[in-house]
Amino acid sequence: MTVTPRTALTIAGSDSGGGAGIQADLRTFFANGVHGMVALTAVTVQNSLGVQGFSEIPVDVVTGQIKAVAGDMGVDAAKTGMLATAEIIDAVAKTLDEVHIGRNTSTPFVVDPVAASMTGHALLREEALEAIRAELFPRATLITPNLDEVRLLTGVVVTGPSTQREAAEALLEFGSEWVLVKGGHLDEGQDCVDLLSDGTSWIELSGPRIDTRNTHGGGDTMASAITSSLAKGADAPTAVAEGKRFIERCVAEAYPLGAGVGPVSPFWRLGGA
Ligand code: PXL
């Protein structure tokens, strides 16, 4: 008899270029042996050169997708990426409570607070930052901001280990169980050091800094790899360590595509793409 795999749900936007957003999330879930499901929040128009615009999905369609899969197929872990507007964030938060996803339930929930694309194009309307802090962070098992998002969310400019810790402390005030402050966007150092904390444990995860311009979708892929491990029952420190090892390979095998920034490669185990 064929065994039903664990399931993971991404609540996020589409990247027409296939490298980030739900496309990265689904590739990563399936590459990690987890059945991926989607609640689409927005459709971006983009290629390797950047985002040209986006249109959000009606709020009841976003929440309908979450209820449809949660009620029938079951969700072993969920994550959010691009959420586009405060209305979508508020509605997603309420729906997650209804279907029992998030901290203080048995279904872990990862919030990747996507605010902008790598090329600086806003993927979130400005008033929505407060909704992420107030509505999503308190429901999150783990939040995974990059350094630009840390600055937008807390005002802390991370330049090294002490400001990375200050940022983690400031972010934990918003109520998530764990925070991962990713150091990938720091210029200095040969290693890429991420800091994971629940306010009691302080765990530094160090890995090689890989020299490539093709890092499109890297943040989404790392958060989805962590979500995959959580769906399979790992605790947060184990899931983050597994996610970091996974994203290192994805970045090492990232490929050029188009005239701009190419995508990371979640299917490196299959020999590419
Ligand atoms: O990598 C952040 C991200 C998330 N979601 C969508 C995106 C991007 C970056 O471009 O397009 C849909």
Q: Is the CB of 124 under 6 A from ligand 1?
A: no
The rounded percent of the chain whose pLDDT value lies above 70 is 99
- From the number of C-beta atoms within 10 Å of its C-beta (0-12, 13-18, 19+), residue 194 rates as buried
What's residue 188's pLDDT? 67
pLDDT value of residue 224: 98
The helix or strand, by DSSP H or E, that contains position 21, with its residue range, turns out to be helix 21-31
Region 182-203 average pLDDT:
89
181 has which bridge partners? Answer: 195
Residue owning the nearest CA to atom 11 of ligand 1: 15
Which residue's C-alpha comes closest to atom 2 of ligand 1?
117
The domains of the chain, with CATH numbers, are 7-267 (3.40.1190.20)
The verdict on the CB of residue 19 being under 6 Å from ligand 1 is no
DSSP letters spanning 106-130:
SS-EEE----B-TT--B-B-TTHHH
Q: Counting atoms of ligand 1 from 1, which one is nearest the CA of 219? A: 1
pTM, whole model, 2 decimals?
0.97
- Gap from CA of 117 to ligand 1 centroid (Å): 6
Q: For a ligand 1 pocket test, name from 26, 123, 149 the mutation site with the most ligand atoms within 8 angstroms of its C-beta.
A: 123
Q: Compute CA distances 89 → 9, 124, 169, 221, whole Å.
A: 16, 10, 23, 21
> Which atom of ligand 1 approaches the CA of 17 most closely?
11
CB count within 10 Å of CB 136 equals: 24
Give the residue with greater pLDDT, 190 vs 46. 46
Please work out whether the CB of residue 219 comes within 6 Å of at least one atom of ligand 1.
Answer: yes
User: Is the C-alpha dihedral spanning 154, 155, 159, 162 positive or negative?
Assistant: negative
Is 261 touching ligand 1 by the criterion CB < 6 Å? no
Q: Count CB atoms within 10 A of the CB of residue 118.
A: 18
- Gap from CA of 1 to ligand 1 centroid (Å): 38
- The span from the CA of 41 to the CA of 55, in Å, is 9
Alpha carbons within 13 A on the beta-carbon side of 128: 22
- Please name the residue whose Cα sits nearest to atom 6 of ligand 1: 21
pLDDT value of position 118: 82
**From residue 69, how far is each of 91, 160, 213, 227 by CA, in Å?**
16, 42, 36, 17
Q: How far is the CA of 200 from the centre of ligand 1 (A)?
A: 32
Beta bridge pairs of residue 79: 10, 110
Q: Give residue-wise pLDDT tens across range 29-61.
A: 999 999 999 999 999 999 999 999 999 999 999
